């Protein structure tokens, strides 16, 4: 089911008490999927991994995607209670700070983002940057729980893509970010600083141990050889039967070999060196300088 706004939008309906209504909103420039997770009883909702648009050629920003997400929430009479991210994204700017200022509600991410910030302070040679305890209201630990209306959300630590990635599990829905891709494309990369293919395998196995009917909502899709249209929802059962990298019967060593070989061919995302120093500030630009403008620092020949 699609809504007629600029981006592709699909609604995955609640299956009953404790089950969320989920809207996925596709952001085509980065292949990212943004989510609204809503309680059908109370109309209270959380936003997950919303994009602040960024042009890597001009370094200009736009609020187009977050405007669309908020317009969709308004059309369905949803009250946003939390702004959530699964990890500090490398391929897009997070809209967390912008949304927090607009809506006056708290934001959150995984607690191990503190360790990711420590890594990137070194890469950018900015020892005093990235106060994540200041910039995020919630730094979730593995096993933390919180409510959205009548819904119960549980946090799973899911390292591998980054060392601090987390999954949000809400009844029969799980927002699994950059772990799995769609079954026909496999899994996400694990070669960023702090990433680990072995840890990604373990995280995926924990996700695939959820009930078989659980709807898994992924972070990215770029189409595949067999389809042009983006997709982002498949069940645990579908991944266990069909995922080209981790279907049932796959051995960990074989997966690591395939994933590492693939990762060795991938370039850095074109927004990565800009995105990390913004996303580790919850989507805020560095402090303006004397001319009132903001500047980013890019390490030359570091990667």
* Rounded Cα gap, residues 86 and 46, in angstroms: 13
User: With contact defined as beta carbons under 8 Å apart, do 165 and 178 qualify?
Assistant: yes
Query: How distant, in Å, are the alpha carbons of 32, 80, 170, 179 from that of 13?
Result: 21, 18, 13, 23
Domain ranges of the chain: 9-279
Domain 9-279, CATH: 3.60.15.10
pLDDT tens string for the chain (303 positions)? Answer: 344 345 799 999 999 999 999 999 999 999 999 999 999 999 999 999 999 999 999 999 999 999 999 999 999 999 999 999 999 999 999 999 999 999 999 999 999 999 999 999 999 999 999 999 999 999 999 999 999 999 999 999 999 999 999 999 999 999 999 999 999 999 999 999 999 999 999 999 999 999 999 999 999 999 888 888 999 999 999 999 999 999 999 999 999 999 999 999 999 999 999 999 999 999 999 999 999 999 999 999 998
Q: What is the pTM of this model?
A: 0.96
Determine how many CB atoms are found less than 10 A away from the CB of residue 199.
19
């Amino acid at each position: 089911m699609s809504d007629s706004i600029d981006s592709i939008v699909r609604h995955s309906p609640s299956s009953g008490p404790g089950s969320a209504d989920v809207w996925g909103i596709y952001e085509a420039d980065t292949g990212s999927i943004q989510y609204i997770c809503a309680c059908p009883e109370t109309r209270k909702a959380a936003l997950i991994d919303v994009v602040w648009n960024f042009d890597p050629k001009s370094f200009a920003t736009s609020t187009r995607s977050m405007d669309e997400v908020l317009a969709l929430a308004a059309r369905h009479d949803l009250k946003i209670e939390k702004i959530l991210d699964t990890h500090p994204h490398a391929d897009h700017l997070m809209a967390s700070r912008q949304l927090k200022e607009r809506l006056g509600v708290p934001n959150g991410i995984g607690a191990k983002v503190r360790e990711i910030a420590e890594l990137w302070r070194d890469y950018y040679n900015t020892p005093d940057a990235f106060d994540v305890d200041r910039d995020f209201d919630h730094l979730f630990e593995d096993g933390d729980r919180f409510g959205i209306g009548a819904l119960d959300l549980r946090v799973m630590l899911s390292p591998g893509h980054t060392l601090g990635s987390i999954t949000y599990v809400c009844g029969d829905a799980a927002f699994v970010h950059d772990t799995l891709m769609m079954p026909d494309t496999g899994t996400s990369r694990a070669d960023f600083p702090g990433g680990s293919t072995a840890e990604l395998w373990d995280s995926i196995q924990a996700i695939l141990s959820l009930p078989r009917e659980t709807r898994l909502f992924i972070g990215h899709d770029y189409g595949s050889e067999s389809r042009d249209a983006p997709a982002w929802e498949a069940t645990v059962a579908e991944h266990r039967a069909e995922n080209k990298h981790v279907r049932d019967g796959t051995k960990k060593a074989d997966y690591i070999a395939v994933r590492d070989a693939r990762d060795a061919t991938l370039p850095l995302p074109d927004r990565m060196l800009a995105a990390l120093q913004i996303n580790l500030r919850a989507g805020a630009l560095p402090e303006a300088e004397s001319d009132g403008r903001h500047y980013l620092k890019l390490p030359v020949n570091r990667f």
